[in-house]
Amino acid sequence: MYRIVVNGDPHVVDAAPATPLLYVLRNDLGLNGPKFGCGLGQCGACAASVGGKLTRTCSIALRDVGDDPIITLEGLGTLQRPHPLQKAFLEEQAAQCGYCSNGMIMAAKALLDRNPKPSDEEIKDALADQLCRCGTHNRIVSAVRKVAMEPVR
């Protein structure tokens, strides 16, 4: 039994210690944000914030999470009250299939948390390890820039 805190709520999870956090989030907690992309830590589709750090949840075991609070895409905003990044992605239509969007938004959130006014180059560098196959990169950069340009976040 493991106790984890996800999006502010404590959960008790009955899963093997080596279980990748991704499957706990998706299947035990019913979250859809983090996606299985490669299971190898290469694509970033499964990203979430663990202890304030951008983390590939396919590659961290449940036993290693400890007390670190976990924030997923669902923890950022909702349909009715979207996070500024989610709102900007919508306004810029910064997706096609949307399967990578979770990782893009989580990585952008991590960037803006440490650097609220990034340049385009800094945005691209921060997202360089997040893969998109539909070719929506420029729209994603525009969406992140849009949030960074807002006077108050």
Binding site for another protein (CB under 8 A): 15-16, 18-20, 23, 26-27, 30-33, 35-40, 42-43, 45, 72-74, 77-80, 82, 86, 89-90, 93, 95-102, 105, 123-125, 127-141
- Spatial contact of 74 and 33, defined as CB atoms under 8 Å apart: yes
* Residues forming a β-bridge with 53: 50
Long-range contacts of the stretch 91-97 (C-beta < 8 A, 24+): 91/143, 91/146, 92/139, 92/140, 92/142, 92/143, 92/146, 93/139, 94/136, 94/139, 94/140, 94/142, 94/143, 95/134, 95/136, 95/139, 96/134, 96/135, 96/136, 97/133, 97/134
> How far apart are CB 28 and another protein at their closest, in Å?
9
> How far apart are CB 24 and another protein at their closest, in Å?
9
> How far apart are CB 113 and another protein at their closest, in Å?
19
Residue type, 69: P
Cβ nearer to another protein, comparing 106 with 151 = 106
Cβ nearer to another protein, comparing 64 with 151 = 64
> How far apart are CB 67 and another protein at their closest, in Å?
22
Cβ nearer to another protein, comparing 78 with 115 = 78
Cβ nearer to another protein, comparing 42 with 113 = 42
